[in-house]
Amino acid sequence: MPAPKSTRFLAACAAAFALLLLACLAIGAAPPEATMGVVQKIFYFHVPSAWLLMLSALVSAGGSLAYLFRGSERGDRVALAAAELGVLFGLCVLVSGPLWAKAAWGAYWQWEARLTSSLLLWLMMVAYLLARRYGGPAARRLAAALALFAAVDIPLVYFSVRFFRSIHPQTTVVSTLGPGMRGAFWLSLAAFTGLWFVLLSVRLAAEKAQAEIVELEILLEQAEEEKS
Amino acid sequence: MTQVALAYGFIWLAVFGYVFLVGRRLARLQAELDDLRRRIERQKP
């Protein structure tokens, strides 16, 4: 007999967390950066979180596109799950970034292009979830349109440091990392991405179960009516 | 060092919290599904 879904997901989550723990060990072993010292280590969790915020917004937009133009229920479920993960990892970016900035710039926040566009992307993901919850009968379509609108902000977030005058480190900083730092960074990125896929599948399974419950409740009602 | 601990602590807590909430929700939904399936089975002649 196969293990129940929740047990399999628990095992997958444990594997992803083990990889994340391994990444933490590599980060601990990585040499401190010459000018910033130990505070630079925030980078190893901050950048993967930022990547996952953008990936979540992109996947949410893809799912919404499938829902709006092909009526795909699966697309809608993917969009919702990805938006929720976007809010989670966006929050991680918006908390870890200012903690690094306080040490690097002397201020938690600067209204510059990268930070502002990232905050906007996160707010649009939050708006997606709010629209889903309180949008009334057209909630799903309204939220899908919001997800498409949010996708426009993704290239803006990524290229903002190139196109605008910005004090935020450039995207090329990864290629300048020393050998000890590079391995820790890629391991952390892989661990975060693996965790993202596990969380997405768990969230999708929950949405699928919810849809099945609605179907079964209708079936049960019909069966009870037939019996009486 | 305080900033590093705060950043890592927050991210671990947020991700663990989310996993806990979604896992609990999935387990509840599965229990509900199993219960509905049993009730439908009982209705069959």
Look over chain A and give the mean of its residue pLDDT values, rounded to a whole number. 87
Of B7, B15, B43, the CB nearest to A96: B7
Whole-angstrom Cα distance, residue B27 to residue A191?
Answer: 25
User: Within a domain: residue A90?
Assistant: yes
| Closest Cβ opposite residue B14 in set A5, A88, A216 | A88
Round to whole Å and give the CA distance between A57 and A63: 10
Identity of the highest mean pLDDT range in A37-51, A66-80, A155-169 = A66-80
DSSP letter at A105 equals T
In a domain, A214, yes or no: no
Q: Residue A3: what pLDDT?
A: 58
Question: A182, exposed or middle or buried, with CB in 10 Å at 0-12, 13-18, 19+?
Answer: middle
* Greatest pairwise CA separation for chain A in angstroms: 79
Preferred mutation among A122, A213, A221 to probe B, highest tally of B CBs within 10 A? A213
Q: Does A30 score more than 80 pLDDT?
A: no
A212's CB contacts (< 8 A; 6+ apart) are B33
The ipTM value here is 0.87
Residue A124 covered by a domain: yes
Reported pTM: 0.89
Tokens representing A150? 């949010």
Question: What pLDDT does residue A123 have?
Answer: 97
Report yes or no on A43 lying in a domain.
yes
Q: Is A45 among the domain residues?
A: yes
B42, amino acid identity: R
A134-169 burial, b at 16+ Cβ within 10 Å, e below that, comes to eeeeeebebbbebbeebbebbebbbebbeeeeeebe
| Structural domain of B40 | 1-45
Total domains in chain B come to 1
Task: Give the minimum alpha-carbon distance from A77 to chain B in angstroms, rounded to a whole number.
Answer: 15
